[in-house]
Amino acid sequence: MATVIGQGKNPAYRAASRRGTFSDWNPTGLGPAAVLEQDRDLIANRARDAYRNNGFVKKAIHTLATSEVGDGIHSHSIAKNKRYRRQIQQLWNQWVFECDAHGSLTFDGIVNQAVINRYLVGGTFIRMIPVSDNRLASVPLILQQIEVDQVPIDKTEDISRGRIKQGIEFNRSGRKVAVHPYKDHPNDTIGGGNELDQGVTVRVPMEDIIHHYEPVRPGQIREIPWVVEGLEVAKRMDDYTHSELTRKHIKSMITGFITREQFTEEDMLFDPWTGEELQPGFTPGNIKLNPGMLGTLNPGEDIKLTDPDNQADGYDQYMRYNLQLMSAALYVPYELVSMDFSQINDRLVRSILDDYRRFINSRQKLVTVPQIIKRVWEKFNDVAVLSGRIDAPDYFNNRSDFVRAEFVPETTPYHHPVQDRTGIKLDMEMGLTTQEEELKKLRKNPQEIIDQLESERERNGDVMAETGVTQ
């Protein structure tokens, strides 16, 4: 009888073992959509709770968002039509301060909030709503951000034009065509919303809404909190810290114990902890401890207390190790979360930050810019033309030429200003980069810099001519 390879007692891969430590490791095999529907809401609620109550989680989330967005990812038109380029840039620079439907944030603030929610609960939705009135001085377009909870993950049904799956509508070709959010947030009843709207969804075409999230598995429709791998560690740290503080607190209450060789009948009439006279029918209950208490022991009794100082000897190491685990899970350097730089030097800092910035740059270019910045920029151009705020007769015949833009994130600070600038100068001399390219990295408009330098040279020349000074 032939032997089939792989059917022996020992698997080809140790990770496929069903013995020892692997005996109780039987993970789910649910697909990318089903696995999220099962646990997404619970994980999101726990993530928000950790953000509210664990300072390290909050610090990590804001470190990621600040690194990715900074003071904003700036949009610069590079349309071929110079007149259009100048006019659309002026409108954009004005619109970013009035685009929020709630009037609370600038466009950069909306992007920052979206990124915070992507790292915290997995993502967010942003509606792009053209408005008919003239409330906006620039372009009649507003942005409304809604939480992922407002798009029901359990809304799955067949419809005539396709299928709704986890609140997202697909056409018969499998392409996303719409989102079906609730009219109001299902878990926010403040303000007494219309009861008739509870549980009612509306259809929003995909061209009018952005789903900002990072799918990890092919076919993943909905979002999973970025912090999911770090939540268990964060909870463990909280529990251990609470236990340690509770133990210290209780131990500090007891100053000592009084012992006697024997008790008299009169001693039995008083509470051994409080010293208060016992009333008839007294039954022992819980004791409320207060600082400086002295307890009384019965004859022959003795008590040995643990040393509170020795008990916490490993606390720092334990917390540091777990904080390193949590930081690794969130892909944030431990030093940036803990602000503990005692174990590294300046060269290690540079190496750590270089790797971290590569991660941040990838998130900017692969997720935030294409999903939010570029989508909003193109929608803004469309509405600007359709509303007549800018004249571009050939716009829709050559739309790609008009909406061209560069999206520039905040400049990374120099590690070493002299060395870094010297390196840039050498690259320019060797033809590996240009002055224009380096100015763009600094989010400076090359043409404006050239104009300013020319104006400065003319001004200096006039001053030198007036004073008779020659070069």
Q: What is the 3-state secondary structure (H, E, C) of the chain?
A: CCCCCCCCCCCCCHHHCCCHHHCCCCCCCCCCCHHHHHHHHHHHHHHHHHHHHCHHHHHHHHHHHHHHHCCCCEEEECCCCHHHHHHHHHHHHHHCCCCECCCCCCHHHHHHHHHHHHHHHCEEEEEEEECCCCCCCCCCEEEEEECHHHCCCCCCEEECCEEEECCEEEECCCCEEEECCECCCCCCCCCCCCHHHCCCECCEEHHHEEEEECCCCCCCCCCCCCCHHHHHHHHHHHHHHHHHHHHHHHHHHEEEEECCCCCCCCHHHECCCCCCECCCCCCCCCCCCCCCEEEECCCCCCCCCCCHHHHCCCHHHHHHHHHHHHHHHHCCCHHHHHCCCCCCCHHHHHHHHHHHHHHHHHHHHHHHHHHHHHHHHHHHHHHHHHCCCCCCCCHHHCHHHHCCEEEECCCCCCCCHHHHHHHHHHHHHCCCCCHHHHHHHCCCCHHHHHHHHHHHHHHHHHHHHHHCCCC
Q: Global pTM?
A: 0.81
Can you list the residues of the chain whose pLDDT is less than 50? Answer: 6
Whole-number pLDDT of residue 158? 92
Whole-number pLDDT of residue 14? 86
The answer to whether 45 touches 225, Cβ cutoff 8 Å, is no
Whole-number pLDDT of residue 200? 87
Whole-number pLDDT of residue 36? 86
Whole-number pLDDT of residue 104? 93
Whole-number pLDDT of residue 442? 75
Whole-number pLDDT of residue 139? 92
